[in-house]
Amino acid sequence: MKILVINPGSTSTKVAIYEDERELFVENIPIKLEELKKYKTIYDQLDMRYWQVVTFLEKHGFSESNIDVIVSRGGMLPPVHSGAYVIDDKLVETLRYHPSSLHASNLGALIAHKIAKPGNIPAYIYDSVAVDELSEIAHLSGIKGRNRKSYSHVLNTRAVARRYCMEKNLDYTESTLIVVHLGGGISVNIQKGGKVIDVVTAEEGPFSPERAGGLQVLICIDICNEEGIEKLQKYESGAGGFVSYLGTNDARKVESLVVKGDPEAKIVYQALAYQVAKAIGALATVEKGKIDAILLTGGIAYSKILTDWIKEYVQYIAPVSTYPGEFEMQALALGALRVMRKEEVARQIEEDFDFE
C-alpha cells in the first residue's frame, strides 16, 4: 500500500512516500524567507505548497493515480480526540475558517484534500497537536472560563509510546507511560489507555533551547510592565531558555561548553534536567505513582549527559528509556496504515463540532 505523507512546517514542507511500513522516499523541502514574504497569510501559501508536493511525487515517479492513501499533520484544530480523522470538506472548512490558531501545519489537510478529492483517495490527519483528552479536573486552571490547553508533541510522543510497548510486548491501551519530548520546545505528557490524559505544555513547564517555559506569574507581570507584552511573547517563543542565558538555541553547543567546563553552561543544562524531572514527577502523581515507564524522545534526547541527569532524578518512579530524534513521518504513515487495515476507525470532525 502506497502512502503519501505531508507535514508542513513554518519554513519547509516535509513529504514522504511509504510502502506499508517501509519508507521509500522522504524530502524536507525548504522555503526561502524571501518566498514566504510574498504571502500575506498562511493560506495564501496553499498553491505553492501543493505544487511542492506534486513535484515531489513526479520526481519519484508517482502521481495521484498510484497513491492508495494520503495522511497529513493535523494542524491547529479546536480540541479533538487522538488518532485519525477523515479529511473531508468539513475538516478543511474547520482548519480554514475556525482554527484554534494560525500555523503552517493547518495547510497539510488542505493540500491532502486538494490531491485526494479528484480521485476519491482516502485521506486522513493523525494525532493533531490539538488533541485534548484531559479530564474535567485536569482542565481547571484557577480562573473560571480560562481552561488549561492540552498542547503537546502528541504525534511523536504517542508514536514513541507505541514503539516502546511493541518492544516490551505490552498492550499500549493497558499501559501508563510518561513521555517527554526534548526539542526546540519541551512538553511532557502522561498516556493511559491509549489517551493523553494530562500534559505539561511547552508554556507551563521546563524552559527549552528557545522558550522560557513556565515563568512565575510575578515575573510575567514585571516583564509586561518593564519590557512590554511583545517581549514576553518573544521570551516564550524564540528568545527564552538557552537563547536568553547563553545566546544560542543549539543544545549541542551548550553541551560542548559543559564538557569544556563552562560553569554557566553547566548550571543552565543542569537546571533543564531538573525542570524536566519536576514535570515528570508532577505527572506521576496523576496516577498515584503507578507508571510503567518514562520515555525520553526528541532531538535533545541524543544528549547522554542530559538524559543521564534526568534519569538520576526520576528512575525511582519507573524505568527510563530513550528514543532520540523524532518519528513524525513514520507516525503519520503507520496511523494511516492502521486505519486502512481496519485496526483503527477514523473519526469525522462533524461528529465533534458544528459551526453552522
State the pLDDT at residue 164.
98
Q: Report in angstroms the alpha-carbon separations of 241 from 126, 210, 217.
A: 30, 5, 17
Q: Residues 6 or more apart from 57 whose CB is under 8 A from it?
A: 4, 17, 63, 64, 67
pLDDT value at position 238?
Answer: 86
- List Cβ neighbours of 234 (8 Å cut-off, separation of 6 or more): 240
Residue 37, pLDDT score? 86
**What pLDDT, on the 0 to 100 scale, is given for residue 355?**
46
Beta carbons within 8 Å of 58's beta carbon, 6+ residues apart:
none
Let me know: does 306 contact 280? Beta carbons within 8 Å.
no
Q: How far apart are CA 95 and CA 23, in angstroms?
A: 28
CA–CA gap between residue 2 and residue 17 (Å, rounded): 7
Contact 274, 293 (CB under 8 A): no
The answer to whether 335 and 341 have CB atoms below 8 angstroms apart is no
Yes or no: say if 182 and 157 are a contact pair by the CB < 8 Å rule.
no
pLDDT (tens digit, 9 = 90+) per residue, 84-102? 999 999 999 999 999 988 8
What are the pLDDT digits (tens) for 214-253? 999 999 999 999 999 999 999 998 899 999 999 999 999 9
DSSP code string of 225-274: HHT-HHHHHHHHTTSSTHHHHHS---HHHHHHHHHTT-HHHHHHHHHHHH
Q: Which domains does the chain have, with CATH numbers?
A: 2-131+329-351 (3.30.420.40), 136-325 (3.30.420.40)
- DSSP 3-state assignment of 120? coil
For the chain, helix, strand, coil in percent to 5 are 45, 20, 35
pLDDT at 117: 94
| Cβ-Cβ contacts under 8 Å for 168 (sequence gap 6 or more) | 293
DSSP 3-state of 42: helix
Q: Which of 303, 304, 356, 352 shows the shortest CA–CA distance to 83?
A: 352
pTM for this model (two decimals): 0.89
pLDDT at 354: 52
Question: Rg of the chain over CA atoms, in angstroms?
Answer: 20
Q: With helix as H, strand as E and coil as C, how does 6-27 read?
A: EEECCCEEEEEEEECCEEEEEE
Among 215, 204, 271, 220, smallest CA distance to 242 is for: 271
C-alpha dihedral, 71 to 77 to 79 to 82, nearest 10°? 10
Cell 521509500, residue located: 24
What is the pairing mode between strands 84-86 and 123-126?
A: antiparallel
Three-state SS for 132? coil
pLDDT along the chain (356 residues), means of 10: 94 94 95 86 94 96 94 92 96 92 91 96 95 95 94 93 97 98 94 97 94 96 97 92 95 97 98 98 98 98 98 98 96 98 95 59
Q: How far apart are CA 335 and CA 300, in angstroms?
A: 25
